[in-house]
Amino acid sequence: MKLLLLRHGQSANNPLEGTANYARQRHPDPPLTALGQRQAQGVAAALARGFAGEPVTRLCSSLTLRAVQTAAPVAAALGLPVQGMTLAYECGGLTTGPAGHFAPVGGREYAALRAECPGLLWPAELQGQGWDGGAEPWEPAVFARRAAQVTGLLRSTAHEGGDGVTVLVTHHDFAQFLLAELLGLPQPSLTDPTFRLCNASLSLLEVRPAGAALHWLNRVGHLPAAERTY
């Protein structure tokens, strides 16, 4: 299976990171900025042109608003549905504060996310209910276990996309754990990330029965230089 990790476009929280007002101004489930929307359109156009080298046959996404908004133009450009993945959210889940230290926040309802992305398919395990937002302890071991679950699910359902590339819209910090799980690397440190992934960047792996091979990482050539952000 070829797996293309797509980090979401710039969210409303991204420009706030590192500022004195970050904790007060951040949103638990931020939307894309106008720049983030352009980045999502840019990656959609690139994938429609064959940027992945092979046809994209399956599209999956975290259930956060910024991920679903990133997946929407990709789905439209490729004519694919978007399979929502309950466990592919950012480290810590949705909370009222950074680094998982504050109160849990529920995710958006299916109808609200479908309004953002008409092709969104709700996870089977959530039929008839909303996503709880995934709030979890801020512990690398917790993130690593969830990454193992996501990679296991991707492997077990690889046949659903047939031949071709599976795209997963996910998040910067959680992608560290996905890559470590797939590549057999040590558990990542969130204070010193192993990989730096730009908004709307693409990283291609070949997932094998045991392990994976990284073909390329953090490609952003589909974005204008002025629109490449972390």
Task: Pick the range with the lowest mean pLDDT from 1-5, 48-52, 208-212.
Answer: 208-212
The band of 24, judged by pLDDT with boundaries at 50, 70 and 90, is confident
Q: For residue 175, which amino acid is it?
A: A
User: DSSP string covering 164-182, please?
Assistant: SEEEEEE-HHHHHHHHHHH
- Chain-centre distance for alpha carbon 119: 17
Confidence of residue 100 (pLDDT cuts 50, 70, 90): low
pLDDT digits (tens, 9 = 90+) for 164-219: 999 999 999 999 999 999 999 998 988 888 899 999 999 999 998 888 999 999 99
Residue 157 pLDDT: 85
CATH class of 2-227: alpha beta
pLDDT tops 80 at residue 98: no
Structure confidence at residue 191 (pLDDT): 86
pTM: 0.96
Category of 200 on φ-ψ map: left (φ > 0), alpha (ψ -120 to 50) or beta: left
CA 132 to chain centre: 17
Write down the domain spans for the chain.
2-227
Give the strand order in the sheet containing 82-85.
Answer: 120-121, 82-85, 56-62, 165-170, 2-7, 202-207, 212-219
pLDDT tens, 55-92? 999 999 999 999 999 999 999 999 999 999 999 999 99
